[in-house]
Chain A
């Protein structure tokens, strides 16, 4: 307990020192807010953005884009991964297509995202979807390929007589830990795609859009505010997800693995 507290205090101290060095360098070494905004510049910009209300709107819009992309990736990636992992025929059919599409960087889809969906939330969501889809697909596929045979056989002798029942009651629960970690990875990738998609004009709102917009206006303290918020939001998303998964879904898994 005392260790924990000590560690926290040290962490806070390090942050304060880093901020102080940043402030000093920005003000007395660089001296130009355009090249390196100081801590106080950034703080003022943050308060202004918050007061004007645009910040909350942009956070909301970005989360909407992110939600659309991630949910679409889960709802498509998991079933396709299951099909490919469980049925050889589906694997043989879909694998070549997947292998051609997978190496295309998600951002390369931006032109078509705009042509297909216009400047809508769906367009930004689509780019995020492309980035998030493959990690989820791969994780689901791999997990289904490595379901221990003993569980499948136990399921069979206990009365699972269709593939659907085996998938639903045996393979899927056993695959959940690695699907969850696939989703976690895809959320990281999706968050990066979000910024890029919004930057490149797939949207007229959102944190990524504002970051780029403020760069055009040469308001660099605002740019730093958006950078920090993007980092912070990504961190929070990851924490919430991990917390939820560990608590709710994976209590059993903790006892099964070396930690």
Chain B
């Protein structure tokens, strides 16, 4: 279907089903129950899942396929965001032109940065991208204040009057899709459960599915194969008559455009942007997402993005009181001790948890969560049938899986 083989089609369908049903799946606990705080099915968080999923999918096209580790991808997200907000401020509140603008801006910027950075490889490439991103951040923060709003960033204001919208005097515009307000939500009460369906989320989700579909196509295309060849052996590639530069540059620009799309969608959701979106820690975050989920796999980056955003929002909400409730069944002294032990990893300490999980993944699971899943699957399979058949590619040891099965 859609030019995919049956395996990829089913993967796409599963992902589609999960994203469409996310308001149900992410809200498994009844409203008002103790566990309700672990519900992730509220619009703001769900939007972040899919938007950062797009960001990570795009990053993975560069890093996962070619092995070029960019430490400056947040710059493209930021540039996309600025492009989108100006489109909404000046032209129209409809999100589609804003998103298109974001992709174009980010793409153009990626052409420039990529053209220069790709003249070097390895660590030099990483540092060049980092330098570009930090430069963009510093510029957005200071000199370009007239365009970027400096430290305070840009928001839709009552003074903005996009030419294609008739706003009343003093009215603050709201992002919309052909008149559908992004912030509109429908709520569904089912017994003790409350499910929220948000317009913005579904628009972002559709973009994510589109982005995911395109990434599958790229992974399976001759182009994707060439990119993996770049990672594997550039020397052989050039003696095979292929020029690695345009391939890597194309991958760089495509991933930059994905970042721009994510940036545009962020603006479409909350109509604001600040320079901190381009800070290098934001670039580091997308690296973490991709590696955590599984670089070079199809679904990994989406999983990684989801996991990090979930941790960020949920783990940081857990506090000692909640822990005491959980461990109330323990003897008093032990309960306090357990809470004391866990305390550094929750609440504001979620970054610590993230850092540790990330290190463990890099050390023991270079293929990320996807490889972990595959290993568990293999273990379960291995118990059923003792010998793996020869000639089956899945059973050959490989340093890092490139393509999700």
Q: Does B bind A? A: no
**Which A residues form the contact surface with B (CB < 8 A)?**
none
**Which B residues form the contact surface with A (CB < 8 A)?**
none
